[in-house]
Amino acid sequence: MSRPVVLVTGASRGIGRATAVEFAKAGFDVAITARTVREGEGRVKARTGSDEVSVPGSLESARDELASHGATVATIRMDLLNLAEVESVADQVVAELGRLDVCVNNAYAQTEGNMDKLLDIKFADAEAMWRGNFLHQIALTRTVVPHMLAGGGGTFINIISGSAYLDPPKPAGEGGWGLSYAASKAAFGRLAGMVNAEFGPQGVRAFNLDPGFVITESGVARGGTEKVAEHTATNPPQVPARAAVWLSTAEESAAHLGTRVQSVQVVADLEAGRTPRPS
């Protein structure tokens, strides 16, 4: 039989890249998407000022790392705000790798205003976040589901955010987070339950995975994460990555359907030799 295939969006760096690596180690072939194709091209806008700063990570360097773990890799440039690119990804994965078993919806819209305070929100910025973090996630899911159904089933891992259901401890920029980002992720959090209700009987399931607060390369480059870290515990990207693989491969993970899966608790249980139970 051919190796299972996982699609991980936003995998040039951070949680997405760590997740792709863990799946490669687990015996999956891997399709990865990102906006940054070549190393050195990645740039993000700093939260203070108008300058763009360089950020490490790319599809090319991720591909080489994944290949070193024995995976066949498909690299696909995708901007989450470009609907045509989003809707073409699933077909490209199947064309290159032959199947699609797991989809990790990790990418999020890195738009302006995600750390704006209430009175500073610009509707155009909020709308862009809504498109990228919710509407285009629906579009991607709609194109992936038919391939999973054709293959007899599949699993979605949707990377949610604590900002969607927790009140910020401080105002945005002072240890808290912006409303536009949090609201768009809250809407995204409703997607998994709909997938389970409509396609669960046909073998397609979806989990909401909370990664905890992970400081990524992009977060460091943009700035501001140190303020949040003063009030929120942090963990490395390998923690949600390990949790994602367990949810996708363990029969016992079915008990977590319909819950907010806490990646920190899952990994703590695994390291203690326990079967992770819903929190």
Per-residue pLDDT tens digits of the chain, which is 279 residues long: 589 999 999 999 999 999 999 999 999 999 999 998 988 787 676 666 667 777 788 999 999 999 999 999 999 999 999 999 999 999 999 999 999 999 999 999 877 777 889 999 999 999 999 999 999 999 999 999 999 999 999 999 999 999 999 999 889 888 888 999 999 999 999 999 999 999 999 999 999 999 998 866 565 545 555 555 555 667 889 999 999 999 999 999 999 999 999 999 999 999 999 999 998
* Residue 279 falls inside a structural domain: no
Domain count, the chain: 1
Q: Residue 64 — φ and ψ, nearest 5°? A: -65, -40
Q: Residue 133 — φ and ψ, nearest 5°? A: -90, -10
Domain that holds residue 72: 5-271
Angle between helices 123-130 and 179-188 (to 10 degrees): 20
* Residue 123 falls inside a structural domain: yes
* Residue 86 falls inside a structural domain: yes
What CATH number did the domain enclosing 152 receive? 3.40.50.720
* Residue 259 falls inside a structural domain: yes
**Closest by Cα among 101, 161, 153 to 133:** 161
